[in-house]
Amino acid sequence: MPENQSNTKKAFLRATQTTPIIDHHAHPLLKHSAINTCPLMSTIIGVHSDTMYGSRTGLAHIRAITHLSALLGCETTWDAVEAAIVRRQGEEYNKWIQRCLSGIDSVLVDDCLGDAEKFEPYNHLDIFTRSPSKRIICIEEVAAKCIDLACVAYSEPTEAFSRAIKNFIGAIEKRLDDPAVAGFKSIICLRTELAISPAINVELLQQVFQRILNDKNLGNLDAPTGFGHAPLNDYFLHILASLIQNDEGGHKKPIQFDTGVGGHDRALTASSPAHLQEFIRTYPDVPIVILHAGYPFTRETGYLAAMYGNVYADMGGVFPLLSRNGQEEVVRHILELTPVSKILWSTDGHYLPETYLLAIDQCTI
């Protein structure tokens, strides 16, 4: 390699290894008392489908084992790695977490993970980072709570619907003003689909709401509210985007969209970020972040980030889910068209600190 190229490479490596990381999408850690509630392998390798879980021959899995075993000073087998991790969980766990998160300056934490009892609060991560964490608010969770409250307060559908919308607007306005909240996230890709309808049909919305209210009145209060109903999901997202678009605060908070990879229960063909194009055009002042590089729709992600000023491409989740070659391909696809300033990085770390560690280390070695 010519000397000037070699110097450039060294300077680039130095920059990647010393630049403080803003991890703009991750999740809380499990409380120490709950770390045994998640299978180590599926959590750390990051894939939960039965097929992948059963396979120990995937390249990403082999790479993760090689890396973790070197770090933990054990044999290069999953069983040895698992035993070494369990030992770390038993002794000086905080020191190990600190090692796993080293390099991260601050984390934007999506703390919508269901059972709050099992997880540390979002700002628990502040112990291990230089700057305080901020929250990312899951929009579907907020909407579900607003609907539940309205259904308890009103039995007449039009009144309950109107109260749910008022509750939701109030909840979003509060979070737009909250400096601890960095932005919002939508899991509409998991619930219905990314192709958010541009048209709002109030009559249809009220019919959907009537069905939800009927369910509640039948005593089905514990059922997850609503969010298999596309018109309602779409409507709440339009309300959120309109509130952000019209927010007169200096900095507009983004909406992160879960896209692409996400397990066997997700409709792959409906999870391409290309389905968001109409929504992106409708709200040109709303920053939109496409999570997980939209993998496997990575070129679509890069295209949207390049074509629209309000779109950003995130590369979290790709590390450590893919093989090294796959990760490099994703970076190449995004860089084909997307300016570097539109690319964001995240760990998508969750539950266990090793998920952060693999994401960070695989980007810097």
Instruction: Give the nearest distance from C-beta 350 to Zn ion in angstroms.
Output: 6
Q: How many residues form the binding site for Zn ion (CB under 5 A)?
A: 1
DSSP state at residue 285: T
Question: Residue 238: how many CB atoms within 10 A of its CB?
Answer: 18
What string marks each residue from 294 to 333 as x (binds Zn ion by CB under 5 A) or -? ----------------------------------------
Q: Which is nearer to Zn ion, 82 or 348 (CB)?
A: 348
Nearest to Zn ion of 129, 355 (CB atom): 355
As measured in angstroms, the least distance from the Cβ of 260 to Zn ion is: 12
Token duo for residue 205: 């919305």
Identify which of residues 111 and 348 has a Cβ nearer to Zn ion in the complex: 348
Nearer to Zn ion, 26 or 280 (CB): 26
Minimum separation from the CB atom of position 292 to Zn ion (A) = 8
Instruction: Please report, as residue ranges, which positions from 259 to 298 form the binding site for Zn ion (by CB under 5 A).
Output: none
Nearer to Zn ion, 157 or 287 (CB): 287
Q: What are phi and psi of 24, to 5 degrees?
A: -90, 5
CB of 35 to Zn ion, least distance (A): 19
Single-letter amino acid, residue 59: L
For Zn ion, the closer CB: 46 or 226: 46
Distances from the Cα of 183 to the Cαs of 60, 112, 249, in angstroms? 31, 13, 13
Query: Which regions of the chain does DSSP assign to beta strands (E)?
Result: 21-26, 104-110, 134-138, 181-186, 255-257, 288-290, 311-314, 316-317, 343-344
Q: Which of residues 335-354 bind Zn ion (CB under 5 A)?
A: 348
CA neighbor of 161 nearest in space, from 232, 237, 243, 239: 232
Least Å from the CB of residue 55 to Zn ion: 23
Residue number of the CB atom closest to Zn ion? 348
φ, ψ (nearest 5 deg) of residue 2: -55, 150
- Contacts of residue 98, Cβ cutoff 8 Å, sequence gap at least 6: 128
CB of 315 closer than 8 Å to CB of 343: yes
Between residues 348 and 354, which has the closer beta carbon with respect to Zn ion? Answer: 348
Draw the binding track, 62-101, toward Zn ion (x: CB under 5 A; -: no contact): ----------------------------------------
- CB of 82 or CB of 111, closer to Zn ion: 111
- 110 CB neighbour count, 10 Å cutoff: 28
Least separation in angstroms between residue 108's CB and Zn ion is 11
Beta-strand runs (E) in 241-290: 255-257, 288-290
| Minimal distance, residue 20 CB to Zn ion, in Å | 21
Binding mask 222-261 for Zn ion (x = CB under 5 A): ----------------------------------------
CB of 185 to Zn ion, least distance (A): 8
Smallest separation, CB 132 to Zn ion (Å)? 20
Residue whose CB is less far from Zn ion, 111 or 148: 111
Which residue type sits at 100?
Answer: C
CB of 25 to Zn ion, least distance (A): 6
Closest CB to Zn ion among 110 and 361?
110
Task: For residue 62, give both structure tokens.
Answer: 């082999």
Rounded-to-10 torsion of CA 45, 51, 57, 59 = -50
Please give the residues from 156 up to 215 whose contact with Zn ion meets the rule CB under 5 A: none
Count of CB atoms within 10 A of residue 143's CB? Answer: 27
Q: Does residue number 141 form part of the binding site for Zn ion (CB under 5 A)?
A: no
- Concatenated DSSP letters of 128-178: TSSS--EEEEEHHHHHHHHHHHHHHH--SHHHHHHHHHHHHHHHHHHHHH-
Please say whether the beta carbons of 187 and 200 come within 8 A: no
Which residues contribute to the site for Zn ion (CB under 5 A)? Answer: 348
